[in-house]
């Protein structure tokens, strides 16, 4: 029922709401990236927007040669994974609050590097409309862009659902619960966490390609901490569930953007209040917020 409603959205609402829905889907993919680390590896990242920006700039660069969306998506996913693999060598050495601060620092470094060396500098770059499949025209209508992003989000969601049902994901949960015990069983936890961090970076890179499809624009501002914080908050709202993380991202984007119009531009205030509520609400209450979603770890 929910999937049918999501598919019918372009015929039910105006172009502004459709664009917001597409943006929410992009943030849902980024929230899945954060949830892989938070909910499975027990590591809270505050720099996933950095890999989103790496993916977005990669997609924008690929767009100069081809507007084929799936190709841009694959290239952005690979670029995000490579960037995460390199920076993760430093990040996964830390745990707890230190890991949070290391990922925040890495995100700020990417932000600064994009300002200095990325095409367009602080002004960013524009990209042409994406093409969903060879032979089809470029997608310029918000409804078609939304449906493309929805289809890509579902594909990514299925891939992530398969990933979190593997033995690798179970070992990540073991590391989060008691890392020395997993090490005693003969597993190299450092390499496993690096693999998880790399996969999370690839998912974030895919979110960057989808962001390019929605806005046709990327700038260093997209690596700002606020975007990473929103993804982390959505993951925490999800309480270890990928479905919950996606729902949290959609709710937070609605609070930030849609509610802003209803409250006379005070949407960011509402978002800040949501973050405070998240910080002080007990974890068992947070889990209760997502009980209406499937309880399987998807």
Q: With CA atoms as reference, report the closest residue to 49 among 265, 218, 189.
A: 218
Hey, what long-range contacts does 287-293 have (CB within 8 A, 24 or more apart)? 287/239, 289/237, 289/239, 289/244, 290/237, 290/238, 290/239, 290/241, 290/243, 290/244, 290/247, 290/248, 293/241, 293/243, 293/244, 293/247
Backbone angles phi, psi at 140, to 5 degrees: -110, -20
The predicted model gives 220-231 an average pLDDT of 91
Greatest extent of the chain over all pairs of C-alpha atoms, in Å: 57
pLDDT at 7: 86
Q: pTM to 2 decimals?
A: 0.89
Q: Is there a contact between 208 and 58 (Cβ–Cβ < 8 Å)?
A: yes
Burial (CB < 10 A; 0-12, 13-18, 19+), residue 191, is exposed
Instruction: Look at residue 35 and tell me whether its pLDDT is greater than 90.
Output: yes
Give tens-digit pLDDT for 2-31. 788 888 888 988 888 999 999 999 999 999
Mean pLDDT across the chain, nearest whole number? 88
Give tens-digit pLDDT for 177-195. 999 999 998 999 999 999 9
pLDDT at 68: 95
pLDDT at 287: 47
Q: Is there a contact between 60 and 218 (Cβ–Cβ < 8 Å)?
A: yes
Q: Which two tokens stand for residue 270?
A: 């509402």
Given pLDDT bands bounded at 50, 70 and 90, which one contains residue 235? very high
Q: With CA atoms as reference, report the closest residue to 275 among 286, 261, 265.
A: 286
Instruction: Look at residue 283 and tell me whether its pLDDT is greater than 60.
Output: no
Give tens-digit pLDDT for 61-100. 999 899 999 999 999 999 999 999 999 999 999 999 999 9
Rounded CA-CA distance 9/166 in Å is: 34
């Amino acid at each position: 029922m929910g999937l049918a409603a999501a598919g019918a959205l372009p015929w039910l609402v105006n172009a502004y709401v459709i664009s917001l829905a597409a943006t929410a889907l992009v943030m849902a993919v980024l929230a899945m990236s954060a949830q892989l680390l938070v909910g499975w590896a027990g590591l809270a990242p505050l720099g996933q927007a950095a890999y989103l920006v790496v993916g977005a700039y990669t997609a924008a660069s690929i767009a100069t040669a081809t507007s084929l969306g799936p190709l841009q998506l694959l290239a952005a996913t690979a670029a995000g994974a490579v960037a995460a693999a390199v920076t993760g060598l430093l990040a996964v050495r830390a745990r707890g609050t230190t890991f949070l601060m290391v990922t925040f620092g890495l995100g700020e470094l990417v932000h600064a590097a994009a300002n200095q060396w990325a095409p367009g500098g602080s002004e960013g770059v524009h990209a042409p409309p994406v093409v969903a499949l060879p032979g089809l025209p470029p997608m310029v209508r918000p409804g078609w862009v939304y449906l493309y992003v929805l289809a890509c989000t579902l594909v990514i969601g299925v891939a992530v659902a398969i990933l979190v049902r593997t033995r690798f994901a179970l070992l990540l949960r073991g590391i989060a619960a008691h890392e020395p015990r997993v090490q005693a069983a003969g597993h190299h936890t450092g390499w496993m966490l690096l693999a998880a961090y790399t996969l999370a970076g690839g998912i974030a890179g895919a979110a960057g390609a989808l962001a390019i499809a929605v806005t046709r624009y990327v700038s260093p501002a997209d690596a700002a901490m606020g975007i990473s914080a929103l993804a982390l908050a959505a993951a925490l709202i999800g309480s270890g569930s990928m479905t919950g993380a996606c729902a949290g991202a959609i709710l937070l984007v609605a609070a930030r953007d849609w509610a802003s119009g209803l409250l006379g531009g005070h949407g960011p205030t509402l978002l800040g209040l949501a973050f405070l509520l998240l910080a002080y609400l007990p974890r068992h209450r947070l889990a209760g917020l997502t009980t209406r979603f499937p309880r399987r770890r998807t």
